[in-house]
Structure 1
């Protein structure tokens, strides 16, 4: 699916990525827009502001 989308010049977004292995697999297959708990768990607005100020 990733290869088909890339060949049609569509962006592919992977959601729900939780592990380094999942991240590596997706990147190896050409998916570079990734979100999920691997990066951050849900945060409050205050926590996000602290992160952005860092």
Structure 2
């Protein structure tokens, strides 16, 4: 299991850290894992969340 910090997640998605915090607070982001006092994310969970955000192909 490969884990990422919030800074690494933000960098991977090319968004500010505040965006990740906001999405998490709204319950609209991949589930975090609490390790001590720190939150981390499994790369597979972030990738699955990202894939779920893909827009569908427009109807012809």
Q: Which TM-score band (shorter chain)?
A: under 0.3
TM-score, structure 1 as length reference = 0.21
Higher strand fraction: Structure 1 or Structure 2?
2
**Structure showing greater Rg:** 1
